[in-house]
């Protein structure tokens, strides 16, 4: 057990006649500067922080879970609309983005390793690379969103059914997939697909933006050597977050872009 634990026969006697000033001295006695007073040891503090992060990620799973549930239900009901909708997505950009994110996960993991082995320059480099790759992802996402706006595929904003009622009107997509025209009723349900597309990728992008913001803060702090002095909890926990956001994207990529690829 931690060295500043004072054991006693029983709590009742021990708690009596407390002199808090003496107590504070005991608390201050040799511990690393980052150890918060309510923890007994640095291990306990790191344990608690990483456990809390895993729990937080669990809440994130539940948060995205609502969207995935909606996706599951509507995909089962309106499968042809989902296939036709997904054909309108740009698989090339999607794949590129997937690789960008996986690579950023790699640089992030290297960053955690650098922090643990106290390599300040390596850490700054890795975090900066992760930061740039995150921005790349968002840039590519913006290009894709812009395509959707041009095609009138944004639900609620002059949504157009033309690509689904008359697939030949979009020769580029038609050349590749030879989609048959959908009945009006089913074509209307493509709007649900695109709602889910924007919701899911949008929620994911919000998480990316938050992550990039935290990365900027971390690069700033890492340059001052904040994470390479033995206290790496923050970098490790952020790493967990970043990998989580990546994994969400990998599911989104498969579910939104690759619906009919197994046929």
Partner 1 sequence: MSTNTIISLPDQTTARIPKDNFITRENGLLSWLLTGDHKRIAILYLISITFFFFIGGALAGLIRLELLTPQTDLMATDTYNKVFTMHGIIMIFFFLVPSVPATLGNFFIPMMIGAKDLALPKINLLSWYLYMAGGILAVYTMASGGVDTGWTFTTPLSTHYVNTNVLTTGLAVFIAGFSSILTGLNFIVTIHKMRAPGMTWFRLPLFIWAHYAASILMVLATPVVAIAIVLVALERTFGIGVFDPTKGGDPLLFQHLFWFYSHPAVYIMILPGMGVISEVISTFSRKRIFGYTAVAFSSVAIAVFGFFVWAHHMFIMGISNYAVLVFSLLTMLVAVPSAIKIFNWTFTLYKGSITFETPMLYAFGFLGLFTIGGMTGVFLGSSGTDIHLTETYFIVAHFHFVMVGGMLMAFLAGIHFWWPKITGRMYPEKISQFAAVVTFIGFNLTFFPQFILGVLGMPRRYASYPPEFQVLNVFSTAGATILGVGYLMPVLYLIWSLKYGAIAGNNPWQATGLEWQTQSPPLTENFAVMPVMDHEAYDYEWLEQQQQAHKETEAPHAG
Residue 219 to residue 114: CA distance in whole angstroms = 13
Binding mask 40-79 for partner 1 (x = CB under 8 A): x---x--xxx-xx--xx-xxx-xxxxxx-xx--xx--xx-
Q: Which is nearer to partner 1, 203 or 240 (CB)?
A: 203
**Count of alpha carbons within 13 angstroms of residue 201, beta-carbon side:** 23
CB of residue 113 vs partner 1: minimum separation in angstroms? 25
According to the binding rule CB under 8 A, does residue 23 interact with partner 1?
Answer: yes
Contact range with partner 1 by CB under 8 A, out of 107-115, 142-150, 192-200, 221-229: 192-200
DSSP letter at 230 equals: S
Interacting residue with partner 1 among 3, 30, 33, 38 (CB under 8 A):
38
According to the binding rule CB under 8 A, does residue 18 interact with partner 1?
Answer: yes
Sign of CA dihedral 98, 104, 105, 110: positive
Q: Which is nearer to partner 1, 141 or 189 (CB)?
A: 189
Interacting residue with partner 1 among 157, 162, 176, 209 (CB under 8 A):
157
CB of residue 8 vs partner 1: minimum separation in angstroms? 6
Interacting residue with partner 1 among 138, 155, 236, 258 (CB under 8 A):
155
Q: Which is nearer to partner 1, 133 or 187 (CB)?
A: 187
Helix (H, G, I), strand (E, B) or coil at 225: coil
Of residues 257, 255, 262, the one with CA closest to residue 141: 257
DSSP secondary structure, 38-95, as one string: T-SSHHHHHHHHHHHHHHHHHHHHHHHHHHHHHHHHHHHHSHHHHHHHHHTS-HHHHH
DSSP letter at 168 equals: G
Residue 51 to residue 218: CA distance in whole angstroms = 21
Residue 114 to residue 123: CA distance in whole angstroms = 5
Q: Which is nearer to partner 1, 23 or 142 (CB)?
A: 23
Q: Which is nearer to partner 1, 26 or 224 (CB)?
A: 26
Q: Which residues are at the interface with partner 1 (CB under 8 A)?
A: 1, 5-20, 23, 27, 36-40, 44, 47-49, 51-52, 55-56, 58-60, 62-67, 69-70, 73-74, 77-78, 81, 155-157, 188-189, 191-192, 195-196, 198-199, 203
């Amino acid at each position: 057990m931690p060295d500043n634990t004072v054991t006693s026969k029983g709590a009742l006697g021990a708690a009596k006649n407390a002199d808090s000033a003496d107590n504070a001295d005991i608390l201050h006695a040799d511990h690393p500067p980052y150890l918060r007073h309510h923890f007994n040891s640095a291990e306990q503090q790191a344990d608690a922080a990483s456990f809390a992060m895993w729990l937080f990620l669990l809440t994130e799973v539940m948060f995205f879970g609502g969207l995935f549930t909606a996706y599951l239900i509507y995909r089962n009901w309106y499968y042809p609309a989902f296939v036709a909708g997904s054909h309108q997505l740009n698989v090339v950009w999607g794949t590129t983005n997937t690789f960008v994110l996986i690579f950023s996960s790699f640089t992030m993991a290297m960053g955690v390793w650098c922090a643990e082995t106290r390599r300040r320059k390596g850490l700054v480099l890795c975090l900066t690379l992760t930061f740039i790759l995150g921005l790349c992802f968002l840039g590519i996402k913006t290009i894709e969103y812009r395509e959707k706006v041009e095609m009138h595929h944004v639900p609620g904003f002059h949504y157009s059914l033309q690509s689904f009622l008359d697939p030949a009107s979009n020769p580029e997509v038609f050349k590749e997939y030879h989609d048959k025209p959908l009945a009006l009723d089913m074509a209307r349900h493509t709007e649900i697909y695109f709602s889910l597309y924007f919701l899911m990728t949008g929620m994911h992008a919000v998480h990316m933006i938050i992550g990039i913001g935290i990365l900027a803060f971390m690069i700033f702090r890492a340059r001052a050597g904040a994470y390479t002095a033995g206290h790496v909890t923050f970098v490790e926990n952020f790493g967990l977050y970043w990998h989580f956001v990546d994994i969400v994207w990998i599911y989104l990529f498969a579910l939104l872009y690759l619906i009919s690829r197994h046929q």
